[in-house]
Amino acid sequence: MPRQNALKLDLKEACVAAAHEVIAERGVEGLSLRDVARKLQVSHQAPYRHFPSRDHLLAEIMRRCFDQFAQYLDERPPADSPHVDLAHMGERYLQYAASHPLEYRLMFGTPWPEPAEHPELVKYAVHAFDVLRNALRTMHAGNDDREEIADLDALFIWSSMHGMASITQANVMSHLKLSKKVTKAAAAHMMHRMSLALPPEKT
């Protein structure tokens, strides 16, 4: 690649990395292209070469989060049944939320920049949801209303996963006098209950 293009690419990636740092330090409300430029010690105008606005930079960061998250779910171990596959996916979901709290909050706890202007963000977010939706379409194969049931179950499962990922962070949790055993078993118990809730394996 010509050196000029390599430099341009570096600046774009550097902006994304610096924006992550700004968000980690000051929250998403604190993100501005000016701060990103200051962190990189480049001119105030430099980030505009790649991002027409602060919202475009934020949308690009969110898009990458959804992409990374979907890949993380896709890397679950192979399974020989839809139930086992969903259990693997659930484990990966909670692992991702626990190990990437900033990215997780950006995806699901942050108001989006105007989505109509950021179709790539929408595309990658829908793709992440489709990982779950497709596993459920496989589970409900043969049902007349399989797309509808798959969507409903996807919302049920996503709710439970997102809820578990969120309440384990909630301040109230540490005051509920839950035993260590309960706290440790909570996610596995939820996965067990969910497998009872879903239609049994076809044998």
Residues in contact with its own copies by CB under 8 A are: 107-109, 111-112, 115, 122, 125-126, 129, 148, 151-153, 155-156, 158-164, 166-167, 170-172, 174-179, 181-182, 185-186, 189-190, 193-194, 196-198
Residue with smaller CB distance to its own copies, 48 or 158: 158
Report the residue number, 7 or 178, with the smaller CB distance to its own copies.
178
Least spacing, CB of residue 109 vs its own copies, in Å? 8
Q: What share of the chain is helix, strand, coil (3-state, %, to 5)?
A: 75, 0, 25
Q: How far apart are CA 125 and CA 67, in angstroms?
A: 8
Least spacing, CB of residue 111 vs its own copies, in Å: 6
Rounded to whole angstroms, how far apart are CA atoms 191 and 187? 6
Q: What is the DSSP letter of 201?
A: P
When the beta carbons of 37 and 70 are compared against its own copies, the nearer one is 70
DSSP, residue by residue, 20-83: HHHHHHH-GGG--HHHHHHHHT--TTGGGGT-SSHHHHHHHHHHHHHHHHHHHHHTSPP-SSHH
Query: Any idea which residue has 């497709």 for tokens?
Result: 134
> What minimum distance in Å lies between the beta carbon of 61 and its own copies?
14
Question: Least separation, in Å, of the C-beta of 66 and its own copies?
Answer: 8
Q: At what angle do helices 54-74 and 82-99 cross, to 10 degrees?
A: 140
Give the shortest CB-195-to-its own copies separation in angstroms. Answer: 8
* CB closer to its own copies, 45 vs 174: 174
Least Cβ distance, residue 203 to its own copies (angstroms):
19
Q: In the complex with its own copies, which residue's Cβ is closer, 33 or 161?
A: 161
Q: Which of these, 108, 125, 102, 99, lies nearest to 31 by C-alpha position? A: 102
Of 138 and 168, which CB lies nearer to its own copies in the complex structure?
168
**What are the tokens at 171?**
């301040």
